[in-house]
Amino acid sequence: MKKNLILPIALCSAVMIFGIGKGISFFSDSSNGNPVTSFSSTNEIKKTNEFSKKYSKPFEATPASVNWPLIADVTTKSLEGNLESGLVYPTAVLKTEVNSKVDFTGDGIVDSNIDFYQYSGTSNSWTGTGSTTVIDETKYVQFDVNATNGGTFTINRVEALVGGAGTSNMYYQAFYSLNADFSDRVQIKSATQLTPSGKAQTLDVTLATSVVISGSQKFYLRFYPYLASATTGKQFALRNVKISGIMEGDVANPATVSTTAVSSISTTTAKTGGTISSNGGGAISESGVVWSTNQNPTIADLKTTENATSGPYISSLTSLLPNTTYYVRAYATNSAGTSYGSQVSFTTLASIVAPAVTTTSQSQVTNKSFVVSGNVTDWGGADVTDRGIVWSKTETAPSLDNATKVSTGSGLGTFSSYVYGVSPSTLYYVRTFATNSAGTSYGSTATVTTKATDPDVIRTIAKDGSGDYTTVQAAFDAVPDNYTGRWIIHIKPGTYTERPTLLAAKSNVFLIGDDAATTIITNNISAGDINPDTGLAYGTSLSQTMAIFGSDFTASKITIANTFVNSTANTQVNSQTQAVALKTQGDRQAFYDCRVLGYQDTYLGNSIGRAYFKNSYIEGNVDFIFGRQTVVFDHCTTYINRNNSVVTAPSTESTTKFGFVFLDCNLTVPAAGTADFNGATISNFHFGRAWQNTPKSAFIRCETPSMLNPTGWTTPINGVIPVTFVEYGNTGDGATPERLAQRANGGVVLSQAESLPYTISNVFKKDTDPSFLFDWMPESSINIDFETLAVNNIKGNKTLVYPNPFSDQVTIAYDLKSNSDITVMIYDVNGRIVKNIKKSNEKSGQKELVIPTTDLKSGVYFYTLKNDTEQTNGKLIKN
C-alpha cells in the first residue's frame, strides 16, 4: 500500500441535516452554488398576498433541511424550513483551501472543493493518533442547526460525500450531540478508511432514534479526520453535508430570494437569475425572474419559470429590444405569497461589437521564451471564440494579418500566452487579441526583450577535493537561479552518501558522470524514519536520496540508490518501508545511461511534468516506479528483487493523456530458483496496479519473461478506479498468445493502429496536459567529452568553448587580466591551420570571440588561444 505520500486529500462533500419543527424564521443571507454577484434580497409580497397572521397558511410535517455544498467556501448553505445553522472548526489547528483532488460526481474527474488540513507554522503537517480507531479530539469540522419561531425540528437523517486523495491512510468518524461542549455524543459513523483515493464515498445515515429540538436547542454534527501515523501534505474535505427531517409549525414565512447581477448582455438577450436561501418554511411552488421596462416588475409582467426550490438558478432573458433599459427582480412563491429580490437594471446593446481586451503584463522572460498576459473584459454582445497574443520582431502593431498568433482559449477573463522558440537578446512587439462574430480587437502593444544566452559553465565534484565541490548538494546550491546557458556539473567517480535536492529555480543543469557503475549517490532513509528537522516521520515523498525540482535537467552516467530494504525483519521494526531513490518534480527532465536502485518505491515522478529515461536501469520490487509524471522509458531495463513485485503504480491525473510509457524495454528477473531477501523464491511479478486518480501505464515492444503473471496487471491499491493499462508488440514468454488472452484488472492488448500514439514525440507533446507549455523532444543521447572543454576563469566560474560540438559558429570566452595581444588558431587533425585570428592590444576584462565555421567540414579540430604570457589549448568538434 502507498503510505504517507504528499498531496493526498480526504474529502467530505455537501453535508445535509433533515428534521421537523414548528414556526419559521426569516433567513436572508444564505446562497448556494457557484459564487455570483448578488444583490441584498428585499422580500416584497404582493399586496393581495401580503404576509400577516391574518393571511398565514397553517401546515404540518413539512420537510426541512440545511445543506452545505462546501465547494467554494464554508459559509454558503441552503435552508429549507424555518432553521438557523452554522459551521465551525478549530482555526488554531485546521486551515482551509480550495483544491481539486477528489471525484465527487462519479465521472472520473476530480472536482474543485473546500478541504481542511492540519498545519504547523506554515506547513501542512498532521500528527498521528497511533491507531486507526482513535480520533484526534482537536481536529473536527462541526455543523449545527436549530429551529426558529418556536418551531419543532425532528431530525432523522444525515448525508454527506466523503472522499480521499493521495492516501489510503486517512480515517474519519462522525458523531452528533445536543450539547455545546459536545458531551454525551452519539456515534453515527465508526472508523472509516477514506479509500479508494480520489473517489468520494457516500455517507447516508438514518438515525436509529429521531432527534427532536425546539426553542434554543441545537443539533451539533461533527466529522473527525485523523491518521494513525504522523505525516505531511494531507487534506480532509466535505461536500453536500445535509441534515434533514420534518418541521412542524403554524405558518410559513415568505421565502428569501436575492437577484443575481445581469451578465452576457447583448442586443436582444441577457442572463440573470437568483438564489433562494430560505423557503420560509413553505414549499416553493414557483421561482424565476420578472422583468419590464418599468421599475419594480412583478409576476404580472414578463417572467421566467425555473422551478427552483432552493439555492441558485439561472434565467435567460430573450426577445429584448436593442438599446433599451430593463428592470429585473428574482422571485419565489410559497404559501405565504411571492417574495422578490432587489431590483437590478441594465441596458441592452445597440449593436454587437468586437470584444474589449487589455494587455496586462509580461513575465517568465528567458533567452528562449516569454509570457504575455491579458484580460477580455467585455464580450461585445457575442461569444468570444478566440483570444491570445500576436507577436513580431518587426511589426510595431502586430495583428492577425502580419504577426505570429498564439491562441489561448476563448471567453471572458484573464489569460496568459506562452511563446517558445524565440531568439535571445531580441526585441519583440506583442499585443493581446480577442475575436467574436463582430470582429477582432487588440490590447496595447508590449515590448519584450529576451535575455541573452549565458555562457556554458563547467563545475566539478570530486570526493578527493580535486574539484570545485566535494558534495552534490554544494554543487547544486551554487547554480544561479534561472541561468539561461548550460550549467554543467562533472561528477567524478566515488560514492556520495548524501540527499541532494536541486531547487525549482535552478534550470538547465547537467549532472554528468564518467561511469554509472562507479559514480554513486546513495542513502538509507525510509518513510518511517524520523526527520530530525520536524520530529515526524519522513513519509514516502520525503524519503528520497535525490530530488530534482528544476526543469530542463539532464543526468548521465550516474547511479542514484536508496539501500533501505523492505524486508520482513525491517517491517517488524518499521512498518513504513517505502524508500525512494529518485524523485523528479518538474518538466523536461532527462536521464541517460543511469541506474536507479532501490526496493519499495524506487522512483517517484511526483508532479505533472515530463521525464525521459534512455538506456537506463531501474531496480526495485513494490510499486517501484510510481507517481503522477508523464515518463517515457526508452530502451531501458527493469529488474525485480523480490517475489510478487509490481513494476508501476501510476497516479496519472485525469487531465494528462499519458502516464508511464515503456518503449522497447527489457523487463528482467533473477535466474529461476533465486531466493529474495526474505527467503522466498522469486517467481512472479506484474506490470503494475492502479494507485489513484486515473492511472495510465503502457508497455510497447518490451521483452517480457515467463515470471510475468499471466494477468499482467494486479488488483488496485485503493479500490477500482478508471485505468488505461495497455500493451502492444511485447515479446518473450510473458507475452505469448495464451498469456495475452488472460490479461485482467483493466489490462488491454492494443492493435497496431491503437499503438501508434505511443511515440516519444507524441507522448511529450504540449497537448498531453494543459499545463505543458510547448512540445518537447529530448535529445537521443548525451555525450559531453570534458577533454574538449577549454577552461578560463571568468567571475570565478570555469567557462567553456560553446557550443561544442558546433555547427555554424563557435564562441571562445576568455578573461584577460591585463591588456594583451590575442591569437586564436584552429588546426585540423593533420595539423594544418584552418583559422588564424589576431586581435591587437585587447583591453583587459571578459571577452567572447565568435568564430564563423560554415566553411569547415564536419570532424575534429584543435585550437590554441594565446596572449602575451600564456596559452590554452582544446579540442573542437564540428557537426
The residues that are catalytic are 601, 623
Euclidean distance between CA atoms 373 and 313, whole angstroms: 32
**φ, ψ dihedrals at 47, nearest 5°:** -55, -35
What residues form DSSP beta bridges with 521? 496, 560
Ranges of beta strands (E only) in 423-567 are 427-436, 439-449, 457-461, 487-491, 494-497, 501-502, 509-513, 519-523, 546-548, 553-556, 559-562
**Can you tell me which residue has the cell 572543454?**
789
**φ, ψ dihedrals at 239, nearest 5°:** -140, 145
Q: How many CB atoms lie within 10 A of CB 728?
A: 20
The DSSP result for 428-468, as a single string, is EEEEEEEEETTEEEEEEEEEEEPPPPPPPEEEEE-TTS-SS
| CA-based nearest residue to 367, from 548, 508, 504 | 508
Q: Is 72:99 a contact under the CB 8 Å cutoff?
A: no
| CA-based nearest residue to 498, from 472, 467, 463 | 472
Euclidean distance between CA atoms 868 and 821, whole angstroms: 6
Q: Is 594:572 a contact under the CB 8 Å cutoff?
A: no
Residues in CB range of 181: below 8 A, 6 or more apart: none
Q: Is 482:490 a contact under the CB 8 Å cutoff?
A: no
Which strand ranges, in their side-by-side order, compose the sheet holding 141-147?
83-88, 141-147, 219-227, 170-177, 186-193
Grid cell listed for 66: 440545511
| CA-based nearest residue to 778, from 584, 589, 549 | 589
What residues form DSSP beta bridges with 835? 826
Give the side-chain half-sphere CA count within 13 A for 809: 7
Helix (H) or strand (E) segment spanning residue 754: helix 752-755
**Would you call 74 helix, strand, or coil by DSSP?**
coil
| CA-based nearest residue to 235, from 165, 136, 171, 173 | 165
- Report the residue count for the chain: 879
Euclidean distance between CA atoms 176 and 166, whole angstroms: 28
**Can you tell me which residue has the cell 567557462?**
799
Grid cell listed for 810: 563557435
| CA-based nearest residue to 620, from 644, 608, 602 | 602
Grid cell listed for 453: 544566452
Angle of CA points 112, 85, 98, to nearest 5°: 15
With 0-12 / 13-18 / 19 or more C-beta atoms within 10 angstroms meaning exposed / middle / buried, residue 282 is: buried
CA 222 to chain centre: 30
Angle of CA points 513, 516, 521, to nearest 5°: 80
Q: Is 339:332 a contact under the CB 8 Å cutoff?
A: yes
Q: Is 755:763 a contact under the CB 8 Å cutoff?
A: no
